[in-house]
Amino acid sequence: MTELEKMISGELYYAGDEQLYIKRLKCKDMCAEFNSLKPSEEDKRIELINNIVGKAGNDVWIEQTFWCDYGFNIELGDYFYSNHNLVVLDCAKVVFGNNCLVGPNCAFYTAVHPLDPEQRKKGLEYAKPIYVGDDVWIGGNVVVLPGVTIGSGSVIGAGSVVTKDIPEGVVALGNPCRVVKKTETHQV
């Protein structure tokens, strides 16, 4: 089994593997190119995001800057918007549903470093996926940790560190992030 196959399957893998290094370097070059484009170069920005991520729905927009490790593990649903300074460490899948809003300076981390210092010294790590449901709003400066699922219709308050799953239809905030109330449904 290759290190890439181990990474994708959630097993311990060697992050310094040459194949993984080449894939990360190619992705980071594309991110650097995306980040250097003028804001007015909208068509080029859209084209590059579609080349970086594994799947992009309709009407996807990411403000610069944007950084990720591999890109191919990222799936963006329809009507996805992220404000400035999005970081996605996508050693495992990071999936956003439809109609997601992500505030500035947000980070989604799938990489997990072992607690055993001997394994860390060998460059070993593993990854856990992140899933974000439909109609989720994530406030600014939020960090989402490996293995977390955020339920559809939920709101994550600014500055939160999401360490555990968040159910559907709630407002959650804090460090660690915790549910504070159900969301309000407004009818027109």
- pLDDT for position 184: 78
- Give me the half-sphere count of Cα atoms (radius 13 Å) on the Cβ side of residue 73: 29
- pLDDT for position 118: 94
CATH of domain 3-182: 2.160.10.10
For the chain, the structural domain boundaries read 3-182
Question: 146 near 163, Cβ under 8 Å?
Answer: no
- Give me the half-sphere count of Cα atoms (radius 13 Å) on the Cβ side of residue 54: 16
Per the DSSP assignment, residues forming a β-bridge with 131 are 95, 149
Nearest alpha carbon to residue 173 among 184, 162, 185:
162
**Annotated active-site positions, please?**
113
Tokens encoding 59: 């009407």
Q: What pLDDT digit, counting tens, does each position of 89-100 carry?
A: 999 999 999 999
Tallying the residues shown for the chain, one arrives at: 188
- pLDDT for position 188: 43
Q: For the beta carbon of residue 86, count every other beta carbon within 10 angstroms.
A: 20
Helices (H), the chain: 3-9, 18-36, 42-52, 117-121
Compute and round to an integer the Cα radius of gyration of the chain: 17
- pLDDT for position 11: 96
Whole-angstrom Cα distance, residue 6 to residue 11?
A: 5
Q: Which residues of the chain have pLDDT under 50?
A: 186-188
Strand 178-182 and strand 170-173: the pairing is: antiparallel
- pLDDT for position 187: 42
Whole-angstrom Cα distance, residue 163 to residue 179?
A: 12
- Residue 17, SS3 per DSSP: coil
- pLDDT for position 32: 98
